[in-house]
Chain A
Amino acid sequence: MDLTELEKLFGDADEIEIEGFKLEAEELDLTLMLQAISQAVSSKLHTTPFKFTPPAEKYESRISEVVVGATKADGGTRNKSLKIGGETAPPFYYFEDYQGHKPVISHDVFDMPISLPGHVKPYFEGVMDDPVKWAKLRVKKFNAEMITLHLVSSDPMVKDTPIKESCELIEDILQAVKVPLIIGGSGNPRKDPELLSNAARICSGERVILSTVCPDMDYKRVAKAAIEHNHPLITLISMNPDEMRRLNKNLMKEGVTPENIIMDLFTGGVGYGIEYTISAMERCRLSGLKGDKFLALPMASATSNSWSAREAWMTNDAWGPREWRGPLWESTTAVIALLSGADLFMMLHPLSIGIMESVIESLFNPKSLTGEGEIKYPGWISVDV
């Protein structure tokens, strides 16, 4: 009988008592397999040390890369060209060899003085009735690396600004600031196609982002202009990955390439639909990485929507000062969208933007991920504050 059989027989017993044992032998040769015994004994006292293996999975495809803004070398007049998208894994999953371009924040500028909460207005003192001044302020004072020009006054229900006038403003903006641009329509499905097609023509070669395209407008017209004048566009479908997929597919049928589409699944602020945003974006990003080419596209987040949350603008002592509460509402929304896969942000408040920039810095391209050795963290017990 070999010792392993003996081990099996006795299992994890501490002690073995043998009864009625009789040994008859002329010569007794005892060979003790000490190692086997000591292992049998030791396996009861200690568990095997745990070895952690990063649960990395491989993804089938990459998210497309979209170039925003064209420099002189590429036929435009922007100072810089930015690239977004290109991810190989979910947001910042470095353990799965995440690579991608750094997410970008575009600062909001409106073509008319819109109603802003009282604690936001002071940041834009003296510029709100002049979009050119506003854009310059954004770039000079707040270091904007992109500007979104929201042509809200063009809405027939607002001021119905003539296309010609909007185009003149776009030209002025192109002259005034040299950062990549987003041209935002008013959202009116009957006017926007004409507006955006004309904007495309005015900005020919600059690779401005045309925002936004959706199924209930003549998107084919916008697609044609985008292709002709070489601009990317943003598709907008509220929180519905299946509908978004359909729209992107239809656009690609029209000849728009994945390098020219950015998806916006609508960003609801914290408390106002953010969970829909999270799930819609996560579903799209995961599908894209797993091989669905109609969803393997960068995503945009119009985070300034979060300002419609009463928690962001309302004065309410029970909720604390809105000067802090408001920006935090926007930046929290933005950070969640970032973790859900957003590559491009449209944001309003300079404080929110500042915080987002530092979060993006911290999460993007970390110098080391292994971080061996002890960290400061356990010291939290003794914090004196």
Chain B
Amino acid sequence: MFKMARLTALQLYKYLPAKNCGRCDETTCMAFAIQLLDRKKKASNCPELTEEGLKKLIEVTTPPVRDIEFGAGENVVTVGGEEVMYRHELRFFNPPPIFIDVSDLMSEKEIRGRISLVKEFEIDRVGMKLRLQGISVRCASDNPEKFRETVRIVARDFQGALVLCSFNPDALSAGAEVAGNKRPLLYAANRDNWERVLEIARKYNTSLVVYSNNLDELGTLVREISARDFNNIILDPGIEAENSGLARTLNKFVMLRKSAVNGVRALGYPLMGSTVSLWMDSKEKSPDEKRKLAYYESTVAGILLDRFVGLLILHSSEIWSILPLVTLRQNIYTDPRVEPAVKAKVYEIGTPDENSPVFITTNFALTYFSVSGDLENAKIPCHLLVVDTEGLAATVAVAAEKITASGVKKALEESGIEHKVKHRKLIIPGVAARLKGSLEDATGWDIIVGPQDSSQISNFLKENW
């Protein structure tokens, strides 16, 4: 097993048939090798490999933390596939899917509410949609029949990915019977039930979770299952969130990722955690205490997202507690080698004319999307001049002097905005107020200092334009 980060296309090429047949939709085997490196293609996309050859190629392109799949059709979920401990060493690859907790002891109303949450939750951010990935159903009753019914209800109303949770194989079997075609992730195999859970996983061609709080036992269980030619495994080392348990949990996750990256095969699998465990003995708590619990759950989930978790099961359905997690997840999993910047030029919002206002902003992607979004929502036709600040946001760009008078002057000239508007009024971000004087001197335009945050633009224009 190599770490993909250290492989070159040339090294991968040696495992390919060198026929340049094109059946993989690439023109040459070298091109295919490059696609493999970028993870845009898989080893199985090459139809010309022998069985042995395919096995070898898969072996060499398997990352230190394997990528594991479950789910069906449009709702296949990929977990893991990681190569490094720190994102700056390369990048992280698969944003951890988040599943919302449902139990067979909940009322049907509660269950429907949670299904709606997962279906409808969608946050627009930097041109991407942040979503929840599925529902996790657990057999809290320990009654396989009851569990089956609950899974049936969920599977009927919800087409997304599922996790079925019980340590009782009869319950897992019952649940899988009515949801098997969705290839639900099975939680979980432990030292007592692993043979039966493995059977069920094979039957429904899906993946399973192995749980043990003891890392010797965890590795041993994985070895047993792996020796039976089954590697669709996700690991759950357990979470302790009280007192020093948090430090233990953190260390477990760190050690497991480091072991995988160091090449310990028995631990080369993605990790998961269920913060539902924080909600034990909480039924009688007041609404305010429950919000505090949701707050703490979000905090622990955030710690896990930062430190190597590959899949999360959350209980809280409060949007405010989920929002920082999906945002943080997006942040951590962006490719650090790519500057999130948009092109520096004039963008037209709506249909502006020669009298429409001219705003300037930075080319940091988030800034651009926030500002243009606010302008669009305010229904203000205007010209938005994006200035190259090397991908830095407004406040940072001002502090680092990446927005300069000469830079703006150049942007104005190059954009041709002077031919598009009759006036010479430029609205600058509120945080750049200190540049007003120097900008006026350099450009000859009237500089109007805009609001601190672009969400205030609508009000601002009413008063000032």
Contact = CB atoms under 8 A, between A and B. Distances in A.
B222 A50 contact: yes
Contact of A325 (B217, B246, B299, B323): B323
A385 B242 CA distance: 19
B464 interface: no
Given A270-B327, A335-B302, A369 B86 contact: no
B91 to A, nearest CB: 10
A187 B399 contact: yes
B78 interface: no
Interface stretch (A102-110, A124-132, A143-151, A276-284): A276-284
Nearest to B236: A377
A272 B370 CA distance: 11
A378 B167 contact: yes
Nearest to A324: B320
Interface stretch (A87-95, A164-172, A200-208): A87-95
Interface stretch (A65-73, A224-232, A293-301, A326-334): A326-334
Interface stretch (B5-13, B59-67, B272-280, B349-357): B272-280
A379 B336 CA distance: 39
B224 A47 contact: yes
Interface string B387-404: 000001101100111000
A266 B336 CA distance: 17
Contacts of B218: 50, 52
A331 B299 contact: yes
A384 B103 contact: yes
A311 B328 CA distance: 12
A49 interface: yes
B259 interface: yes
Interface stretch (A21-29, A74-82, A251-259, A355-363): A355-363
A369 B302 CA distance: 21
A385 B125 CA distance: 32
Interface string A346-385: 0000000001000101111011110100111111111111
Given A50-B222, A359-B299, A238 B86 contact: no
A375 B240 contact: yes
Nearest to A367: B244
Contacts of B327: 270-271, 311
Nearest to A312: B324
A48 B220 CA distance: 8
A384 B140 contact: yes
Nearest to B247: A366
B211 A381 contact: no
B295 A278 contact: no
A359 B246 contact: yes
Given A355-B295, A378-B211, A384-B283, A47 B223 contact: yes
Interface string B71-94: 000000000000000111000000
B453 A385 contact: no
Interface residues of B, number: 90
Contacts of A112: none
A375 B86 contact: no
Interface string B147-168: 0000000000000000001110
Interface stretch (B43-51, B178-186, B248-256): B248-256
B324 A381 contact: no
A216 B216 CA distance: 54
A324 B276 contact: no
B215 interface: yes
Contacts of B88: 279, 282-283
A332 B86 CA distance: 19
Contacts of A268: 393, 396
A279 B306 contact: no
Contact of B320 (A93, A279, A321, A381): A321
A308 interface: yes
A381 B282 CA distance: 14
B258 interface: yes
Contacts of B332: 275, 278
Contacts of A324: 291, 294-295, 318, 320-321
Contact of B87 (A278, A331, A361, A379): A278
A187 B434 CA distance: 12
A319 B130 CA distance: 13
A328 B298 contact: yes
Interface string B298-333: 110011001100000001001111011001101110
8 contacts: A55-B258, A278-B332, A374-B213, A375-B238, A378-B211, A381-B165, A384-B103, A384-B283
The 6 closest A-B pairs by CB, nearest first: A50-B219, A320-B320, A366-B244, A380-B277, A366-B247, A325-B320
Interface of A: 46-52, 54-55, 92-95, 157, 187-188, 216, 238-239, 266, 268, 270-275, 278-279, 282-283, 286, 308, 310-311, 314, 318-322, 324-325, 327-329, 331-332, 335-336, 339-340, 355, 359, 361-364, 366-369, 371, 374-385
Given A308-B395, A381-B139, 9 more contacts: A47-B223, A50-B216, A271-B125, A271-B330, A273-B396, A324-B295, A380-B279, A383-B277, A384-B103
